[in-house]
C-alpha cells in the first residue's frame, strides 16, 4: 500500500510541474498517446518556468533519494541537454535533520555504549544534514575534536522502494520518450543504485578515507582527516574534525592572500596523481566536500572529506586513457581511434577511418579556440558522445572519471580563471607514460610479481606435464571426432548413392510398367498384373526411408 501511495505522490508531482511535456506525444503509440491526452495532468497549466527548473524543483519535492539522483544525473552531460544538466547541478543536500533522540539511539546501538561514555562532549544539534546522513560535533575523552556521521534511520528500505519506482519510470522513459533508449535511463538508475547503496555503509567510507590518507601521507597536496576505527561501524563514522576555508569562499581565500593559481594547479595535480599513480580517486569532489588550509597562504593545502564514492581504473584502462589523452593533446585522431579499438571501448569491427573522422569533427572546432578557453571536461563529454554513436558502452569507472574531471576543472577555473589545464596535465601524462616503461619501473613490476612466480615455480613441471597430457587428450578427442566425421560422411555418401540407385530403379520400373500397358492411359483398369507389380515396386523404391 505504501508503494502505491508513494507512486501516486510521484505522479502528482510530475503533473504539478508538467514534466509530461518532456514526452513527444507524436512518437508514442495510439494507446499511450490517448492515455497522455486524457491524463488529469492536462488540467494544470505548466508553471511559467524553464523545463530544467521544473525538473529540479520536482526532484527537490520528492525528497532525499531523488535529490541525490538529480545530482548524479547532472554529471551525465553526455546524456542530457545542457540546460537541464546545468539546472540539476544546482541541487543541494539541504535536507531537514532527523530528531536528535534518533541520532543518539543509532550511535549507542551501533557502538554498544551510551553517548556519555563514548564522548566527553556531544552536540545533539547536527552541524549539517544531507540526504543520506547527518554529522554532529563531539570531543573524545582523550581530548581530540571529532565529527560523528550518522546514517538516517530506516533509510535503506525507503531507498530500495524509491529505486524500484525509479526503475519503473526509467523503463517507461526508455519506451516512450524520444531518444529514450539512447539516454539509457535504466543503465543510469542502475549506476545510481550501486553508488547510493555503497554510501549507506560508513565502514566502507572510513576504509576509503584511510586509503586516500595513506596515498597522500606527508604530502602538501591534500590532507584527509584521521579515522577513529574504535568509534566506527556500518552506520556510524567518527573522524578528525578539520578546520579550513570552504573552497567556494573566495572572499576568505583572497583576504588571506592565498596563492589561487598554485591552488588551482594543485587541484589538477591531485586529480592526475590519484588517477594515474594510485588508480584510486575521490569521485565526489564537489565544492561541499573540499576545504582549504590557508595557514600558509603561499603554500595552501586541500582538505578532502566524504570519501563514500571512490573510482578506480585497471592497469590497461590507465594505460589506454593516458595514451588517448596524449593523442588528443597532439591532435593525432588516428591514434585515438586505434586506441579505442585496441582497448575494446568500441567494437572490434569499427572502421578506424570512420571513427577517426568523427573524432576530428568533434575536436577541431574546440582546438580552434584560445587554449585558456578550452574545457577539458567538456571535450571528454563530446568524445564520449561521439564514441556512443559507434556503440561504445561507457564503463562506470569512466563515468566517475568524467564527473570528477568536470568537478576539478570547474573548481580550478573558479579559483583561477586563467588556469591552463592542458599545460598542467600534458607534462604529467608524458612523464607518467615515460616512467611506466622505464627500466626501473619495469624492474619494480617484475619484483612485485616475483613472489607469485617463485611460489608457482615448483609446480611448473607438474603444470607442464598436465598441459602436455591435456594436449594429448585434446588431440585424441580431435582424432576420434575426425574419424566419426569421416564415418558420418561415408555413411551419408553411401546413403546418397543408394538413393540414387533406388531412383534409377524406380524410373526403370515405371518405364517398364507403361511400356507393357495394352493401350492408352484410359485403359488402366485392364492393365496386366505385371504393370501393377512394376508400378508398386517403383512406389516402394521412391518411398522415403529413415535410414
Q: What is the pLDDT of residues 360-404, one digit of tens each?
A: 888 887 776 655 666 766 677 777 777 777 776 656 667 677 777
pLDDT of res. 1: 57
Q: Give the length of the chain.
A: 547
Whether residue 174 is contained in a domain is answered as yes
pLDDT band at 23 (very low <50, low <70, confident <90, very high): low
Pair 104, 180 in one domain: yes
pLDDT in tens, 297-315: 999 999 999 888 888 888 8
187 within some domain: yes
pLDDT of residue 166: 79
CA distances from 487 to 355, 475, 477, 482, 545 (A): 49, 18, 15, 9, 20
Q: Is residue 122 part of a domain?
A: yes
Lowest pLDDT segment from 43-57, 147-161, 433-447: 433-447
User: And the C-alpha cell for 134?
Assistant: 547527518
Same-domain pairing of 364 and 486: no
At residue 504, does pLDDT exceed 70? no
Higher pLDDT: 455 or 493? It is: 493
Q: Give the predicted TM-score (pTM) of the model.
A: 0.68
pLDDT at site 24: 57
pLDDT at 68 over 90: no
Q: Is residue 330 helix, strand or coil?
A: helix
Residues 168 and 231 in one domain: yes
Would you please indicate which residues are annotated as catalytic (active-site) residues?
284
Bigger pLDDT: 10 vs 338: 338
| Contact (CB, 8 A) for 355 and 346 | yes
Same domain assignment for residues 118 and 31: no
Sorted by sequence, the CB contacts under 8 Å of residue 77 that are 6+ apart come out as: 85, 378, 381, 406
Confidence of residue 521 (pLDDT cuts 50, 70, 90): very low
Is residue 301 located within the same domain as residue 416?
yes
Are 165 and 207 within one domain? yes
For 171, the 3-state DSSP assignment is helix
Show the cell assigned to 185.
535511463
Strand partners, 134: 129, 150
The last residue of one of the domains, among 242, 267, 289, is 242
Tell me: pLDDT of 519 over 90. Answer: no
Q: Are residues 307 and 354 in the same domain?
A: yes
Give domain status of residue 453, yes or no. Answer: no
* pLDDT (mean) for 85-114: 84
Q: Per-residue pLDDT averaged across 165-175, rounded?
A: 79
Q: Which domain holds residue 297?
A: 248-437
Q: Domain tally for the chain? A: 4
Strands 236-240, 301-304: pairing kind: unpaired
Q: What whole-number distance in Å separates Cα of residue 150 and Cα of residue 168?
A: 30
pLDDT for residue 27: 55
Q: Is residue 429 part of a domain?
A: yes
Of the residues 183, 213, 242, which one is the last residue of a structural domain? 242
Residue with more model confidence, 70 or 115: 115
Among the candidates 35, 63, 92, a domain finishes at 92
Confidence band of 252 (pLDDT split at 50, 70, 90)? very high
Residues 211 and 260 occupy one common structural domain: no
Cβ of 300: how many Cβ atoms within 10 Å? 22
Does residue 65 fall inside a structural domain? yes
> Do 401 and 261 reside in the same domain of the chain?
yes
10 lies in the same domain as 57: yes
171 in the same domain as 60: no
User: In the structure, what pLDDT confidence band is assigned to residue 520 with cuts at 50, 70 and 90?
Assistant: very low
Q: Does a structural domain hold residue 204?
A: yes
pLDDT given at position 101? 92
Answer whether residue 333 is part of any domain. yes
Whether 342 shows a pLDDT value over 70: the answer reads yes
Amino acid at each position: 500500500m505504501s508503494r502505491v501511495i508513494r507512486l501516486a505522490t510521484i505522479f502528482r508531482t510530475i503533473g504539478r510541474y508538467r514534466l509530461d511535456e518532456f514526452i513527444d506525444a507524436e512518437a508514442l503509440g495510439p494507446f499511450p498517446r490517448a492515455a497522455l491526452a486524457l491524463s488529469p495532468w492536462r488540467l494544470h497549466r505548466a508553471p511559467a518556468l524553464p523545463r530544467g527548473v521544473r525538473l529540479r524543483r520536482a526532484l527537490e519535492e520528492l525528497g532525499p533519494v531523488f535529490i541525490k539522483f538529480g545530482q548524479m544525473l547532472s554529471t551525465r552531460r553526455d546524456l542530457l541537454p545542457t540546460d537541464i544538466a546545468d539546472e540539476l547541478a544546482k541541487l543541494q543536500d539541504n535536507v531537514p535533520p532527523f530528531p536528535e533522540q534518533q541520532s543518539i539511539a543509532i550511535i549507542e546501538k551501533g557502538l554498544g555504549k551510551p553517548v556519555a561514555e563514548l564522548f566527553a562532549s556531544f552536540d545533539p544539534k547536527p552541524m549539517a544534514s544531507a540526504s543520506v546522513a547527518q554529522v554532529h560535533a563531539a570531543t573524545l575523552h582523550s581530548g581530540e575534536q571529532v565529527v560523528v556521521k550518522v546514517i538516517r534511520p530506516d533509510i535503506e528500505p525507503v531507498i530500495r522502494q524509491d529505486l524500484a519506482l525509479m526503475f519503473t519510470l526509467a523503463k517507461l522513459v526508455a519506451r516512450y520518450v524520444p531518444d529514450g533508449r539512447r539516454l539509457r535511463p535504466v543503465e543510469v538508475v542502475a549506476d545510481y543504485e550501486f553508488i547510493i547503496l555503497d554510501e549507506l555503509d560508513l565502514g566502507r567510507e572510513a576504509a576509503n578515507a584511510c586509503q586516500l590518507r595513506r596515498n597522500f601521507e606527508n604530502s602538501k597536496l591534500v590532507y584527509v582527516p584521521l579515522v577513529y576505527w574504535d568509534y566506527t561501524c556500518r552506520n556510524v563514522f567518527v573522524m578528525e574534525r578539520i578546520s579550513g576555508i570552504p573552497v567556494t569562499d573566495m572572499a576568505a581565500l583572497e583576504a588571506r592572500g592565498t596563492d589561487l593559481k598554485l591552488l588551482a594547479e594543485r587541484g589538477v595535480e591531485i586529480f592526475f596523481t590519484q588517477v594515474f599513480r594510485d588508480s584510486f580517486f575521490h569521485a565526489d569532489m564537489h565544492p561541499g566536500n573540499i576545504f582549504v588550509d590557508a595557514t600558509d597562504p603561499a603554500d595552501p593545502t586541500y582538505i578532502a572529506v566524504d570519501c563514500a564514492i571512490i573510482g578506480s581504473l585497471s592497469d590497461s584502462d590507465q594505460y589506454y586513457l593516458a595514451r588517448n589523452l596524449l593523442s588528443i593533446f597532439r591532435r593525432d585522431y588516428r591514434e585515438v581511434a586505434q586506441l579505442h579499438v585496441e582497448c575494446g571501448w568500441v567494437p572490434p569491427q569499427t572502421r578506424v577511418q570512420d571513427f577517426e573522422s568523427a573524432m576530428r569533427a568533434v575536436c577541431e572546432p574546440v582546438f580552434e579556440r584560445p587554449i585558456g578557453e578550452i574545457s577539458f571536461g567538456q571535450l571528454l563529454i563530446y568524445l564520449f558522445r561521439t564514441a556512443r554513436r559507434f556503440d561504445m558502452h561507457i564503463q562506470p569507472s569512466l563515468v566517475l572519471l568524467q564527473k570528477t574531471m568536470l568537478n576539478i576543472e570547474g573548481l580550478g577555473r573558479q579559483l583561477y580563471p586563467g588556469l591552463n589545464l592542458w599545460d598542467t596535465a600534458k607534462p604529467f601524462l608524458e612523464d607518467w607514460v615515460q616512467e611506466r616503461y622505464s627500466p626501473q619501473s619495469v624492474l619494480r613490476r617484475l619484483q612485485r610479481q616475483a613472489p607469485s612466480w617463485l611460489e608457482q615455480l615448483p609446480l611448473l613441471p607438474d603444470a607442464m606435464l598436465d598441459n602436455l597430457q591435456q594436449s594429448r587428450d585434446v588431440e585424441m578427442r580431435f582424432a576420434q571426432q575426425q574419424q566419426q566425421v569421416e564415418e558420418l560422411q561415408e555413411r551419408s555418401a553411401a546413403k546418397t548413392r543408394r538413393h540414387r540407385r533406388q531412383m534409377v530403379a524406380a524410373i526403370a520400373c515405371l518405364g517398364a510398367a507403361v511400356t507393357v500397358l495394352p493401350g492408352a492411359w484410359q485403359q488402366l483398369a485392364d492393365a496386366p498384373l505385371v504393370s501393377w507389380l512394376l508400378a508398386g515396386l517403383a512406389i516402394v523404391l521412391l518411398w522415403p526411408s529413415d535410414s
